[in-house]
């Protein structure tokens, strides 16, 4: 029995030795090392080869989550709903249940530290509505970050056709995580964290503990991809970011990464000019439209304003059968006006039409119309005094409702005398009427009224609310380039609290409003404190701002593009 069992073990070892190299060589090897300070490559091998990224995919999932938080779409305490699809993801997983609600902060910790597939899927589905839509957004963001050999099909990184990336692209993504979201970057150096329903341990703790200066970032493994790792490490002023694809084991992958970093640290200079990566350029067009009002003929065509005066209807005759007390007394003023109109009108004319043009010169022998002209002049003068918005309103109201004159017995005799004597001079009639009517503020005098004011020759046409008479402007589309020269900023030092940093930024913006008008305030939560800064400045504004701060004995540092 002992010899048989020994023989069986030997055959098992031989078979394992025969098949092990083939399985380990299934995943191609690739590596890329970058100087994080300026993005320059230090070492590369198959760096642009499209390979399976495995759980390195979650680096982009977390980048999208951080972006959504900074844009205000979600918050760390937002409750995300776990779908059946997310709960059914294979390990590694947090253990989420379908229908469960959990805060986003716990999903981020589980995806970053434990590399939980169910947590990554829940993040993608809640941010974009579905995992497919989220994968499309991840690919678009990858293009915006300069990742040319990357295409995503899911949020967790499990092997799927059409889901690939490269060692160079994942190193670029790691650099963006470090610079774009420094307030969240310390998450990648944690050995463990509370994920709400469980405490999770880091899948990268072995490399973090074994390599001096390592502070992240992410591990990944599938059979098709092998053992992958994107790591970041710092020594003095130097910082490197590197990616390894296709390791044969965790130990071999970590050892290869350590050798690459050691050799690269010795090849880079201690001091170089730091060049931060550019923010992702998303394709967004800003359009400005101007209001447009179509002109109408009423507003654009000048038409003469005409004033039409018509005689008022004759008052109804009183019933003679009525009592004498109820019979109205004749109005001498109205009778005088009617007499003047009857004498001025020709037999063929039935009404009086006057235009608002200049007064025509008097014809020879037109003495019979003097009384009528005086009446019209008085009506126009009263309209100018009232400042009515309509020129015809006062005249029409005066014609429809004549102002009654004081009734006196003497007036009746004057009117009766004028009616029985058709050949009387109209001027004598008008003078008699004027003398009969007492002088009051509301009386209408035909002879003693002042001459009308000369009308201005200037004609003002109102648009009648139709809008601007100018030629309508075409729709103007203004596109602002992403890089418009305002890529400079100033850093105003570190502060103990976010409130102190924001207070300094607010006071500075109020004090130097002209220089900092287009600047954007930013507070970064770093390991040393809260860093206050103004960004989106031109180079001249940044220099001027720093000079003013230094003149007030304050700390200030210019940050270039």
Distances (CA, A) of 465 to 293, 332, 339, 474: 10, 46, 44, 21
Phi (first) and psi of residue 20, to 5 degrees: -65, -45
Going by C-alpha positions, the residue among 195, 187, 201, 190 that lies closest to residue 103 is 195
Per DSSP bridges, beta strands 79-81 and 101-103 are: antiparallel
Structure tokens at 54: 């495995």
The neighbour count for residue 561, using CB atoms within 10 Å, is: 12
Query: 243: part of which helix (H) or strand (E)?
Result: strand 238-247
Annotated catalytic residue 388: no
Phi (first) and psi of residue 247, to 5 degrees: -70, 155
- CB-based contact 415:311 (threshold 8 Å): no
Phi (first) and psi of residue 493, to 5 degrees: 95, 180
Among candidate residues 55, 202, 445, 508, the one labeled active-site is 55
How many helices (H) does the chain have, and how many strands (E)? 18, 13
Enumerate long-range contacts of 359-363, CB under 8 Å, 24 or more apart. none
Annotated catalytic residue 413: no
Mention every residue, 6+ apart, whose C-beta is less than 8 A from residue 204.
Answer: 188, 216, 217, 218, 219, 229, 231
Query: 133: part of which helix (H) or strand (E)?
Result: helix 131-145
CA quadruple 372, 375, 381, 385: dihedral, nearest 10: -150
Distances (CA, A) of 345 to 189, 428, 506: 108, 19, 82
Annotated catalytic residue 508: no
* E runs forming strands in 428-559: 488-495, 520-525, 530-537, 557-559
Among candidate residues 58, 114, 168, 238, the one labeled active-site is 58
Among candidate residues 115, 202, 508, 533, the one labeled active-site is 115
- Please give the Cα distance from 115 to 121 (Å, whole number): 11
Mention every residue, 6+ apart, whose C-beta is less than 8 A from residue 374.
Answer: 430, 446, 447, 449
Going by C-alpha positions, the residue among 97, 102, 101, 75 that lies closest to residue 86 is 97
Query: 240: part of which helix (H) or strand (E)?
Result: strand 238-247
Give me the active site residues, please.
Answer: 55, 58, 115
């Amino acid at each position: 029995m002992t010899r048989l069992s020994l023989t069986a073990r030997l055959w098992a070892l031989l078979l394992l030795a025969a098949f092990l190299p083939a399985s380990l060589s299934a995943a191609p090897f690739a590596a890329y090392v970058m100087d994080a300070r300026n993005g320059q490559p230090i070492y590369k091998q198959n760096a642009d080869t499209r390979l399976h990224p495995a759980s390195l995919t979650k680096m982009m999932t977390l980048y999208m989550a951080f972006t959504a938080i900074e844009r205000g779409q979600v918050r760390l305490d937002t409750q995300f709903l776990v779908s059946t699809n997310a709960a059914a993801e294979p390990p590694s997983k947090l253990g989420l249940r379908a229908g469960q609600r959990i805060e986003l902060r716990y999903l981020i910790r589980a995806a970053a530290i434990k590399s939980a597939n169910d947590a990554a899927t829940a993040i993608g589905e809640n941010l974009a509505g579905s995992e497919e839509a989220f994968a499309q957004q991840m690919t678009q963001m990858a293009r915006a970050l300069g990742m040319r050999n990357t295409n995503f099909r899911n949020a967790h990184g499990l092997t799927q056709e059409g889901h690939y990336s490269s060692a160079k692209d994942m190193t670029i993504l790691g650099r963006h995580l470090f610079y774009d979201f420094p307030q969240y970057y310390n998450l990648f150096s944690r050995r463990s964290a509370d994920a709400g329903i469980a405490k999770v341990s880091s899948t990268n703790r072995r490399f973090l503990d074994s390599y001096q200066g390592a502070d992240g970032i992410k591990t990944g493994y599938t059979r098709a991809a092998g053992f992958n790792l994107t790591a970041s490490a710092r020594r003095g002023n130097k910082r490197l970011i590197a990616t390894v694809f296709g390791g044969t084991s965790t130990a071999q992958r970590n050892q290869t990464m350590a050798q690459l970093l050691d050799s690269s640290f010795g090849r880079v200079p201690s001091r170089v000019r730091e060049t931060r990566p550019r923010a992702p350029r998303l394709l967004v067009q800003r359009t400005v439209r101007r209001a447009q009002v179509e002109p109408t003929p009423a507003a654009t065509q000048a038409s003469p304003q005409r004033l039409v005066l018509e005689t008022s209807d004759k008052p109804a005759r009183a019933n003679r059968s009525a009592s004498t007390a109820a019979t109205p007394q004749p109005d001498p003023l109205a009778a005088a006006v009617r007499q003047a109109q009857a004498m001025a009108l020709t037999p063929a004319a039935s009404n009086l039409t006057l235009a608002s043009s200049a007064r025509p010169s008097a014809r020879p022998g037109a003495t019979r119309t003097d009384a009528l002209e005086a009446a019209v002049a008085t009506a126009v003068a009263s309209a100018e005094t009232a400042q009515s918005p309509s020129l015809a309103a006062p005249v029409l109201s005066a014609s429809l409702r004549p102002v009654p004159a004081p009734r006196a017995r003497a007036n009746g005799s004057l009117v009766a005398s004028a009616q029985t004597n058709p050949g009387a001079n109209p001027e004598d009639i008008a003078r008699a009427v004027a003398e009969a009517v007492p002088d009051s503020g509301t009386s209408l005098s035909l002879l003693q009224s002042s001459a009308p004011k000369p009308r201005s020759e200037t004609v003002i046409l109102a648009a009648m609310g139709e809008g601007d008479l100018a030629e309508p402007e075409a729709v103007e589309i203004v596109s602002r380039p992403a890089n418009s020269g305002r890529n400079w900023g100033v850093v105003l030092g570190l502060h103990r609290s976010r409130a102190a940093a924001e207070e300094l930024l607010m006071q500075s913006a109020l004090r130097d409003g002209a220089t900092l008008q287009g600047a954007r305030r930013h507070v970064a939560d770093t390991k040393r404190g809260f860093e206050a800064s103004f960004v989106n400045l031109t180079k001249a504004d940044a220099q001027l701002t720093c000079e003013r701060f230094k003149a007030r004995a304050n700390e200030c540092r210019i940050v270039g593009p």
